[in-house]
């Protein structure tokens, strides 16, 4: 019975610690704050390099939406595109493997988040990597 | 591997009637009374290429040593998988999977690992509905019912059972072996 109580206490502590957010009244004057809304950021495509190049297609939303942002052929193992935030991007890479074609797919949302610091609204956005590298 | 598993299950279950016969010598005279202990459990099942987290709640009947629980297992990350879509076209998706299952198990042949450690063998099956999703598409992995037997042993650790079992888990992926090790803490809630 004691063990169950300990388990529940550990679980509750973990939930409490992980759910803590800084409140809106906090102020850190040394914090670098971008007050202009971030409307674009980098989308990195990571691929398995092939000598003949790897055709890729980048979509807005899911593949079924068929909203193509761009098509390209990549000759390195990664490439960056500067694209609008607030959108889910899905990428396809087409690899030749003997008689087969392997189509690798990955998808992520490019987000912008805002928070308040010293009465300023600060914006931050993390670039994303779409991992189209083949399974070894 | 499957043949070894079937042999072990067969061998263990052959001993069950004998164990029950010993128990029943005492109990036939007494009135049958169902004594159910609620249980909660948490664990993982893992092999070198994949792992699932597992949570469950259920009940255990100490006299028959049979337990049943409703479990939810899931892969907590997106895993790259390759699926043959057409004759020469293979899709590499990022996949997450979930299993909602009813786990039926029996603890058999109690034995002592040491003076303070009581153990028993454990056999059962996780039977349920396996489903999932892929990133970037509305297409989904093939869902359906699965029955996944497990066999191993259980150690009583002063208030909870540590179950270590071999699980034959068919997650419908050719690239991931079906053999897994399952580690679970099964906690009886005794007031």
Q: How far apart are CA A55 and CA A52, in angstroms?
A: 9
3-state secondary structure of B111: strand
Tell me the pLDDT tens digit for each residue of A110-126: 998 888 888 888 988 88
pLDDT at B12: 44
How many CB atoms within 10 Å of residue A136? Answer: 4
What would the two tokens of residue A67 be? Answer: 């909203």
Calpha distance A41→A112 (Å, rounded): 9
Give the phi and the psi of residue B50 in degrees, each rounded to 5: -160, 160
Residue A20: its pLDDT value, please? 55
From chain A, pick out residues whose CB is under 8 angstroms from the CB of B189: 4
Q: Which residues contact B47 (CB under 8 A, 6 or more apart)?
A: B176, B177, B179, B180, B181
* Chain A closest-CA separation from residue B33 CA (Å): 24
Which whole number is the average pLDDT over B24-32? 52
Question: If residue A124 lies in a helix (H) or strand (E), which one and from where to where?
Answer: strand A120-124
Strands A40-47 and A128-132: parallel
- Give the chain B residue nearest A63 (alpha carbons): B137
Closest CA in chain A for residue B91: A103
- Specify the pLDDT at position B170: 86
**Confidence class for position B22, pLDDT limits 50, 70, 90:** very low
Average pLDDT of the segment spanning B18-45: 66
Six token digits for residue B175 = 């690239």
Contacts of A100 in chain B (CB under 8 A): 88-90
pLDDT tier, A28 (very low <50, low <70, confident <90, very high otherwise): confident
Interface contact flag, B94 A106, Cβ < 8 Å = yes
Locus of tokens 């992926």: B173
Q: What is the mean pLDDT of residues B110-139?
A: 87
User: CA-nearest residue of chain A to B191?
Assistant: A1
CA distance A131 to B6: 41
Residues in chain A within 8 Å Cβ distance of B137: 62-64, 90, 105, 107
Residue A94 has pLDDT above 70, yes or no: yes
Instruction: Write down the pTM of the prediction.
Output: 0.75
pLDDT > 90? residue B171: no
Instruction: Considering only the beta carbons, identify the residue of B92, B94, B135 that sits closest to A102.
Output: B92
Q: What does the domain layout of chain B look like in residue ranges?
A: 2-21+38-188
**What's the helix, strand, coil split of chain B in %, to 5?**
15, 60, 30
Phi, psi at residue A88, to the nearest 5°?
-85, 130
* pLDDT at residue A61, as a whole number: 92
Residues of B in contact with A63 (CB under 8 A): 136-137
pLDDT band at A13 (very low <50, low <70, confident <90, very high): confident
What does pLDDT average to over chain B? 82
**pLDDT the model gives residue B24:** 45
pLDDT reported for residue A25: 58
The CATH fold of domain A22-132: Immunoglobulin-like (2.60.40)
Which CATH number does the domain B2-21+38-188 belong to among 1.20.120, 1.25.40, 3.90.920, 2.40.160? 2.40.160
Sort out which chain B residues have CB atoms less than 8 A from A7's CB and list them.
187
Higher-confidence residue: A18 or B63?
Answer: B63
* pLDDT at residue number A6: 65
Of A7, A90, A101, the CB nearest to B88: A101
Per-residue pLDDT tens digits for B58-73: 998 888 889 999 999 9
Where b means 16+ CB within 10 Å and e means fewer, A79-114 reads eebebebeebbbbbbbbeeeeeebbbbbbbebebee
Q: Are B70 and B102 in contact (CB under 8 A)?
A: yes
pLDDT at B61: 87
Residue B180 pLDDT more than 60?
A: yes
Q: A55 with A94: CB under 8 angstroms? A: yes
Candidates B43, B92, B173, B187, partner chain A, best to mutate (most A CBs within 10 A): B92
C-alpha–C-alpha distance, residues B110 and B67, integer Å: 15
With beta carbons less than 8 A apart as the criterion, state whether A63 and B137 touch: yes
More confident: A26 or B104: B104
The pLDDT assigned to B25 comes to 46
Strand partners, B145: B129
Which range (A21-25, A41-45, A98-102, A104-108) has the least confidence? A21-25
Residue A15 pLDDT level (bands cut at 50, 70, 90): low
Give residue limits of the domains in chain A. Answer: 22-132
Given a contact cutoff of 8 angstroms between Cβ atoms, the answer to whether B93 and B137 are in contact is yes
Q: What number is the ipTM of this complex?
A: 0.78
User: Which residues are paired to A95 by β-bridges?
Assistant: A102
Band (A9; pLDDT cuts 50, 70, 90): low
- Name residue A121's beta-bridge partners: A116
């Amino acid at each position: 019975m004691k063990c169950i109580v300990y388990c529940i206490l550990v679980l509750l502590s973990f939930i409490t610690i992980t759910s803590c957010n800084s409140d809106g009244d906090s102020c850190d004057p040394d914090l670098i704050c971008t007050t202009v809304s971030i409307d674009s950021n980098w989308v990195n495509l990571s691929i398995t390099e092939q000598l003949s190049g790897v055709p890729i297609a980048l979509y807005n939303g899911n593949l079924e939406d068929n909203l193509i942002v761009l098509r390209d052929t990549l000759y390195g193992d990664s490439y960056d595109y500067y694209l609008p935030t607030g959108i889910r991007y899905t990428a396809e890479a087409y690899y030749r493997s003997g008689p087969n074609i392997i189509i690798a797919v990955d998808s992520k949302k490019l987000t912008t988040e805002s928070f308040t610091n010293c009465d300023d609204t600060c914006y931050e956005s993390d670039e994303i990597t779409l991992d189209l590298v083949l399974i070894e | 591997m499957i043949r070894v598993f079937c042999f072990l299950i067969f061998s263990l279950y052959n001993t069950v009637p004998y164990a029950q016969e010993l128990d029943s010598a005492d109990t036939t005279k007494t009135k049958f009374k169902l004594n159910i202990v609620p249980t909660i459990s948490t664990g993982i099942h893992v092999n070198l290429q994949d792992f699932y987290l597992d949570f469950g709640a259920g009940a255990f009947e100490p006299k028959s040593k049979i337990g049943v629980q409703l479990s939810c297992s899931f892969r907590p990350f997106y895993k790259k998988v390759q699926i043959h879509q057409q004759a020469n076209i293979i899709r590499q998706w990022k996949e997450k999977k979930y299993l909602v299952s009813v786990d039926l198990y029996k603890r058999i042949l109690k034995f002592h690992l040491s003076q303070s450690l009581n153990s028993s063998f454990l056999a059962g099956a996780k039977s349920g509905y396996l489903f999932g999703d892929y990133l970037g598409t509305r297409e989904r992995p093939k869902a359906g019912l699965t029955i996944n037997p497990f066999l191993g042993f259980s150690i009583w650790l002063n208030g909870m059972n540590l179950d270590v079992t071999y699980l034959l888990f068919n997650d419908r992926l050719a690239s991931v072996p079906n053999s897994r090790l399952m580690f679970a803490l099964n906690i009886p809630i005794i007031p």
